[in-house]
């Protein structure tokens, strides 16, 4: 299977409308076992809440800052970020072209260290 960022971007729900009142900006592109791969491209702000599974972000385009449970780091295209299940996190001060793959995997509550 081949998944291209441009194909996933074309499937994003887009700005607020009747179906997506908050302007949802993620789309699921692949599932296998516990793995779910999405493309996430928020616009303006990142409203996400902690997730119940571990996740890995691979930055497709753009740059900004990432708050990972109070640890703030700069990020850019090509960077990889890890967030354990349950940890508050969000992208901040990101560029208008920001998009990232996000892979959710493992059991609810995250894998054991």
pLDDT per residue over 6-31, tens digit each? 888 888 876 655 555 555 688 999 99
For residue 19, is it within any domain? no
The number of distinct structural domains making up the chain is 1
For residue 79, is it within any domain? yes
Domain ranges, residue 73:
1-8+36-86
In tens, the pLDDT along 27-60 reads 999 999 999 999 999 888 898 899 999 999 999 9
For residue 107, is it within any domain? no
At 47, give phi and psi (nearest 5°).
Answer: -90, 10
For residue 74, is it within any domain? yes
For residue 69, is it within any domain? yes
For residue 60, is it within any domain? yes
For residue 78, is it within any domain? yes
Helix (H, G, I), strand (E, B) or coil at 75: strand
């Amino acid at each position: 299977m081949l998944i291209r960022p441009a194909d996933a971007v074309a499937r994003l729900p887009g700005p607020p409308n009747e179906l997506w009142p908050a302007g949802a900006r993620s789309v699921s592109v692949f599932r296998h076992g516990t793995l779910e791969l999405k493309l996430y491209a928020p616009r303006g702000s990142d409203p996400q809440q902690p997730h119940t599974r571990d996740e890995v972000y691979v930055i497709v385009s753009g740059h900004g800052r990432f708050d990972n449970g109070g640890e703030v780091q700069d990020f850019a295209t090509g960077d990889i970020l890890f967030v354990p299940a349950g940890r508050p996190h969000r992208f901040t001060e990101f560029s208008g072209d920001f998009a990232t793959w996000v892979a959710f995997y493992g059991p609810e509550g995250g894998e054991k260290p």
